[in-house]
Structure 1
Amino acid sequence: MSGVLREQQFALTRHLRDPQHAPAPENLPPQRLQVYRDLLFNNLQALLGSSFPVLLQVLDDAEWDALCRRYFIEHRCASPLFTEVAAEFVDWLQPQDALPRPFLAELAHYEWVELALQSHDAQPPAACAGDVDLWHAPLQRSALAWPLAYQWPVQQIGAAFQPVSAPPEPTFLLARREAEGHIVFSQLSPLAWHLLVQMDAPGLRSGAAHLEQLASAHGLDPAAVEQPGRALLAQWVATSVIGPAMLPTGG
């Protein structure tokens, strides 16, 4: 590719991304340029809008247009797959400090979780046999059950509720994919969230060991944690949030 042609292509793409600030290459018909400007931006905006319906509820048309335009101008997608555009939009939002709503980055992540879990190719943990003792057997979290933590109550935000300041306590959620493919969100207590996150730490631990570690980390009496902990583990096993860990086999 010649240097002249390469520069012409870069000039064209710069203009298509940011027509207000990047001049169009010379000798290109304005009508054709307008077709490409509209086609590219409208396709991106429609794709993002279908992925983030709540964002569309909390932003007016001008705010949504401006946000999509910023993303179009500033971000360079690492993947050509349309399914990855929403994930890259979420990643781009996280460090932005000039958003039209302070909760926008977390709300977008919360909406993206449902899309990501629906398309995740992981399998749920194996079903527990009736004789498995969860108190002593090593446990692991399902790859289809995600513990989430947010500063904002993202599950409540919508057109009718748009807080201007974050509450003093964070919001802890569990997102999981059921066998039928439905995505279910539920609220977690802080201790339940910490327990579930703890199961991602290296090393395989039994239910008893996990609860003992949780009690130690939070200054609690292990005996007081046992009964509610057993009930929570049983509930998570029943809903495939956790399951018996796959032990490595010897070679």
Structure 2
Amino acid sequence: MAIDFSEKQREFCAYIRDPRHNPPPADVDSRRMATYRELFFNNIESFLSGNFPVLRSLLDDAQWQALVQDFFAVHDCRTPYFSEIAEEFLAYLHDERQQPGDLPFMLELAHYEWVEMALANAKDELIVNEPDFGDLLEKKISLSSLAWPLIYRFPVQRIAPSFLPLAPPKEPVCLIVHRNLEDQVRFIEITPATFSLLQLVQERSGLNAEFYLNRMVMNLQPPNPELIRKGGLQTLTELAEKNIITVIR
């Protein structure tokens, strides 16, 4: 009898992904199928454990295995590269994971952990400012491609087995993550006002610093505009010293 190779592949993959609900191919030794299944699953589990160590530390073995198995069974990965599986896992948590008993910050924590890996692997080169770039007010600036403003509901940078917030604080948590001259990824907690300022720089890159400061004041409508401008300029200067803000020559 002719074998439908495509159908055989579907049977093989269905069992590998979810052996609880799919039988192994009838004409393949069950011990071999179990070995294939273990190899595939363990590769995915090991990769996720390495990329999401904090999330892994918050779950016991049974919870973690169930989470990885659900991802393995239901998510249709679009990439053949192991280095991109972490991003696929984020897509799964965002679009497909629906378990009321999950930790409320699971998606945000996973994104926070993914950011560190993604920025460490980014191919962009850091643009280093001249040490004497001077007063930024009239300088054209941009946000480094190796600096990402982030905003979360939960304080993801503090989450650990000893700190598991079940409800978000009143104010969002704003961070800037960047890669420095030593190729180390660092996170800095910033104020919501600084986050808004960096968003302006990111969205309309290459304008004078004064433009962003004036736009920030216009958006915030503070009682003391000059104080906000002064504080914003000081913040931009400090970030330029860290090469988070690029001074365009």
Calculate the TM-score normalised by the size of structure 2. Answer: 0.93
Superposition deviation, residue 129 in structure 1: 6.4
| C-alpha separation in 2, matches of 1:226 and 1:194 | 13
Superposition deviation, residue 103 in structure 1: 0.6
Check conservation: 2:143, 2:198, Cα contact below 8 A: yes
Check conservation: 1:49, 1:56, Cα contact below 8 A: yes
Aligned length in residues: 245
Amino acid aligned to 1:9:
Q
Indicate how the Cα distance of structure 1 residues 37 and 105 shifts in structure 2: closer, same or farther if over 3 A, else same.
same
Check conservation: 1:58, 1:159, Cα contact below 8 A: yes
Counterpart among 172, 176, 179 of residue 177 in structure 1: 179
Calculate the TM-score normalised by the size of structure 1. Answer: 0.92
Check conservation: 1:94, 1:105, Cα contact below 8 A: yes
Counterpart among 211, 233, 243 of residue 240 in structure 1: 243
Check conservation: 2:154, 2:173, Cα contact below 8 A: yes
Percent same amino acid among aligned pairs? 33
Aligned positions of 1:1-251 closer than 5 A:
4-95=4-95, 96-98=97-99, 100-128=102-130, 130=132, 133-202=135-204, 204-220=206-222, 221-245=224-248
Superposition deviation, residue 105 in structure 1: 0.5
RMSD: 1.7
| C-alpha separation in 1, matches of 2:234 and 2:204 | 24
Amino acid aligned to 1:39:
L
Stretch moving more, 4-13 or 83-92: 83-92
Superposition deviation, residue 186 in structure 1: 1.2
Stretch moving more, 219-228 or 77-86: 219-228
Superposition deviation, residue 3 in structure 1: 7.7
Is there any run of 5+ residues in structure 2 with no aligned partner, and where? none
After superposition, the C-alpha distances for 1:172-207 in whole angstroms (9 at most, x for unaligned) are 111111111111111000101111111111353211
Indicate how the Cα distance of structure 1 residues 178 and 32 shifts in structure 2: closer, same or farther if over 3 A, else same.
same
| C-alpha separation in 2, matches of 1:121 and 1:128 | 22
Superposition deviation, residue 28 in structure 1: 1.1
